[in-house]
Amino acid sequence: MAALEPAIDDLEHLGAQELIAEAAARYPRLAVACSFQKEASAILDMVVRAAPAARVFTLDTGALFPETRDAWRTLEEHYDIAIEGVRGEQLDRQWERDPDRCCELRKVRPLRETLAGADAWIAGLRREQSPERADTPKLDWDRKHELWKLNPLADWTEADVWRYIAANDVPYHQLHDRGYASIGCWPCTQPGDGREGRWNGLDKVECGIHVA
């Protein structure tokens, strides 16, 4: 960690776009993780204005919904940007045999490799999403990846996200209109509120990329 890094909570008072602008000013090698969920749409809309030099990427797990690929293309065209797809090892239907290992190979490792060249990264976590995310700070030192992590929407409600999307005419994932509040890989995602549709029926609530 550099000697003059900020205190963990020194950006808590900033709004989402101000936070992104501050991140762009502080961290020249800023990476933005894009899941194509509603939070990612809102963040991308702010990133193109406040941090246009940031590297935007998605974890292309090879198990994305067709609608996720539609959202990928639509957002690229809408903002005239390229969203980089990063892929890890993809063993055939591994989610059936060992979902934790599947997430490790398709998400956790490629994320680690992608962030190795960054100073900071932006994610779309919100405190309201689950008990595991209730303490999410806007700025935190990511010990696992050894860089700064920013969650510009940490204090936003779901209604805040939808208000932003409507007010700014932001494209968003079609599955949100079909009962999916949270959207991951197709084998592990069902419709549902909050994150209840993720790994439904399994004792698993996170893929590991946001676990310290």
Binding site for ligand SF4 (CB under 6 A): 61, 63, 95, 99, 102-103, 106-107, 184-185, 187-188, 207
Q: CB within 8 A of 184, min separation 6: which ones?
A: 35, 198, 207
- The answer to whether 17 touches 46, Cβ cutoff 8 Å, is yes
Catalytic residue IDs: 207
Residue 142, burial from CB neighbour count under 10 angstroms (0-12, 13-18, 19+): middle
- The answer to whether 185 touches 158, Cβ cutoff 8 Å, is no
- The one-letter amino acid code at 105 reads L
Instruction: Look up residue 191 and give its DSSP letter.
Output: S
**CA count, 13 A, side-chain hemisphere, 117:** 7
CB 46 to ligand SF4: min, Å? 26
Nearer to ligand SF4 by C-beta: 57 or 156? 57
The tokens 């893929």 sit on which residue? 207
